[in-house]
Amino acid sequence: MKKIITQFSGSALFHVSPPGALPLDNGPNWPACQHKRIAPLEHIASYSISTQPRNQLRDPRIQEGLGGGPCTGAVRREGKPKCSWKVKRSVRLPGWELRMTPRVAVHHHWGSAYRSDALSKIGYTGTFNSSCNNAAYPIIAYTVSFAPVHHLQNQTHRRPHRDRFHPLRLTECTGTTPGYYAPCLARTLPNAVSAEELIYPAFTISPPIFAASRPQDAERWWNTTWMMWERAYEMKGRMRYPEKHGQIYVFQNVTLSASTPFDKWIMQSCMSGLATTSHVVPSSDKPTHDSVLLANFPDSWSMQHFLDRGMRVVAQSRDHQTRYVATGREGHKSVEEFWSYLGYAANQVLHSDTSFVASQLIWSCRAPLIHPWLTQRSLSLLSPESLQPVDKSTRKLILYMTRSNGLNLNAGREVLNEDILLADIQALLDKRGKREQLKIFNHEDFPSTDALMRYVHQNVKAVIGPHGSALHNHFWTAEDTLLIEFMPTSRPDFAFYEAARMRDQPYAVLMLDPVDDEHNMEVDVPAVVDILSERLDQPLDMSERLKVAYDWEAEELGVN
């Protein structure tokens, strides 16, 4: 059994369990360690590892009741630390560079951005000495650049795999850098002080799973992939997504013009093809806000577009964490909760506001819509638990996303033979004899989005339903969760196919002719049952997984 113990900010020990490891709470009694719990800090910075604090952060709210001396959990934002020490009798940490490098502050708030189950695995303080290292639980150390505490659990076995898709960051404008790359273009923009060009690696994904009894679905699906021409194309039986670029600009002492588009589907909006920095204008007025992220993507109030567009803006620019975010009108409850999970309390979300003056404004509106690194980072920020594997044998729920209960904002795309479909799925589950249950999804069953995310991740084995926003909840499921989508041929869409494939989730589709103008469908029930029978317990084949795409394929390159 292995444990990963890391030291954060020189004042707190954080614990992450790799697959198969027990949380520290459930391990043996190590009296020499005596780790104490701490609440997360309001201000957390990204650091490398260090045994001696330097320029640290402080949140006085967490001091009361901690005990353990003045250093326990106490860190300061500016100046010299209140106290300084070195770890005594420390375990040797091969491969660990003991150096602390402050990067950028992150603002989180107790009670909104943290989950109790996450706190059970992180947030320990105390003396770390050699007696903690015994034969049964050897200490393994990794060189890690930490992101906010909220997603420390992402530092697991999955990280090396996802590093294949990490973008290359260019921050300097040289004599050979194209003028339209961000570091060069920033020289021409008023009040722009720095910029980054991000180059995202190309990748390929496999096509959907099709029912063996419906060969026409494969033909129909491939015949609609031309609709992805702006971002992907077919190559050797897979969809190839070429290299993409993103841009981040940092402005100082600026405001927004009155014409800044909020919640509008126009080409100049954030994340649209003609997204422009021209709405960011210099201001000589005294700043009203210290740091602001601009996130004026279309329909920012909706969960769907927060996830498929807004989180691209946030994930790409997260190294430039701000205290405020400027977005569109007030969103649905889930959207407000998402902002809080990202560290933005209600009074830190500026809705359709162009009156503020920002000491620093982050512009990240040119980011790829589809990329595995952005998907992974989005999950690590919103729901780090969703990145953790959950044994499929312990997940018993087949979640059906109905559109027939009258709770949808948009009518249509109902399954007209839904009763027969559900009865046959239940019959299959009964026949399997694995105590699996069929449950019809209703978001009103959950007191919060956080509760929904944890429930789905821990319990769901497959998600089934017609194309619609409810399918976005598959985003929180474990990686090997099966997704089956019913797609009306009158309005094909690839959002859930791409989202599932970004996480190596098995995805199946039925291409169905609608029976009316509202895209309602009669589902091929035996085909659905066949897919479930074949794929519920079957892991993805290696040929079905994400792959890096590169122009050269020599084995020595080690591309895949």
Highest mean pLDDT among 76-90, 184-198, 533-547: 184-198
CATH numbers and ranges of domains, the chain: 1-156 (no CATH), 209-227+384-544 (3.40.50.2300), 243-371 (no CATH)
Range 240-259 average pLDDT:
98
Give one DSSP letter per residue of 103-146, joined into a string: --EEE--TTTS--HHHHTTS-EES---GGG--SSS-EE------
Sequence letter at residue 455: Y
Pairwise pLDDT comparison (106 vs 486), residue with the higher score = 486
Q: Indicate the range of 69-78, 202-211, 282-291, 418-427 predicted with least confidence.
A: 69-78
How far apart CA 507 and CA 473 sit, in angstroms, is 14
Helix axes 525-535, 418-432, angle to 10 degrees: 30
| Mean predicted confidence (pLDDT) in 489-518 | 96
Distances 441 to 454, 483, 523 between C-alpha atoms, Å: 14, 14, 18
More confident residue, 303 or 29: 303
> What percent of the chain stands above pLDDT 90?
65
60-84 residue pLDDT tens: 322 222 233 333 333 333 333 333 3
The tens digit of pLDDT for each residue in 260-316 reads 999 999 999 999 999 999 999 999 999 999 999 999 999 999 999 999 999 999 999
Tell me which DSSP letter residue 465 carries.
E
Least confident piece of the model among 29-33, 138-142, 325-329, 393-397: 138-142
How far is Cα 192 from Cα 277, in angstroms, rounded to an integer?
10
What pLDDT is recorded for position 407? 61
Overall pTM surpassing 0.75 (yes/no): no
Quick one: pLDDT at residue 449?
Answer: 93
pLDDT bin (cut points 50, 70, 90) of residue 435 is very high
Query: Please, are residues 538 and 513 in contact by the beta-carbon 8 Å criterion?
Result: no
Q: Give yes or no for residue 487 having a pLDDT over 70.
A: yes
Given its phi and psi angles, is residue 209 left (phi above 0), alpha (psi -120 to 50 degrees) or beta? beta
The whole-chain average pLDDT of the chain stands at: 77
Average pLDDT on 116-136 reads 31
Q: Residue 513: pLDDT band by 50, 70, 90 thresholds?
A: very high
* Distance separating alpha carbons of residues 373 and 358, to the nearest angstrom: 29
Greatest mean pLDDT among 1-15, 143-157, 378-392, 429-443 lies in: 429-443
pLDDT at 287: 98
Strand partners, 43: 107
Question: Is the per-residue pLDDT at 147 higher than 90?
Answer: no
Whether pLDDT at 447 is above 90: yes
Mean of pLDDT values over 328-355: 95
CB–CB of 511/504 below 8 Å? no
Q: Dihedral sign for Cα 225, 228, 233, 236, please.
A: negative
pLDDT average, residue stretch 218-239: 96
Give the mean model confidence (pLDDT) for residues 26-36.
31
What are the Cα distances from residue 536, in Å, to 202, 392, 398, 424, 429? Answer: 30, 9, 10, 15, 10
- Residues in Cβ contact with 489 at an 8 Å cutoff, skipping those fewer than 6 apart: 220, 224, 511, 512, 513, 514
Question: Region 403-429: what's the mean pLDDT?
Answer: 86
Q: What would the mean pLDDT of 19-31 be, rounded to a whole number?
A: 31
DSSP, collapsed to helix, strand or coil, labels residue 38 as coil
Strands 12-16 and 3-8: antiparallel
Residue with tokens 């920012």: 300
The whole-number pLDDT of residue 44 equals 28
How many residues in the chain? Answer: 560
Indicate whether 505 pLDDT > 50: yes
Q: Which segments of 144-270 does DSSP mark as H helices, in order?
A: 158-163, 182-185, 215-224
pLDDT at site 126: 32
Following DSSP, what letter does each residue of 303-327 receive, concatenated?
A: HHHIIIIIHHHHHHTGGG--SEEEE
Buried b (16+ CB within 10 A) or exposed e, 468-500: bbbbbbbbbbbbbbbbbbbbbbeebebbbbbbb
Q: Which residues pair with 64 in a beta bridge?
A: none
For the range 440-449, what are the long-range contacts, defined as Cβ-Cβ under 8 Å and sequence gap of 24 or more?
A: 440/400, 440/402, 440/405, 441/399, 441/400, 441/401, 441/402, 441/465, 441/470, 441/473, 442/405, 442/407, 443/407, 443/470, 443/473, 444/407, 448/337, 449/333, 449/334, 449/337, 449/338
Alpha-carbon span 476 to 287, nearest angstrom: 39
- The C-alpha angle 129, 132, 136, rounded to 5 degrees, equals 155
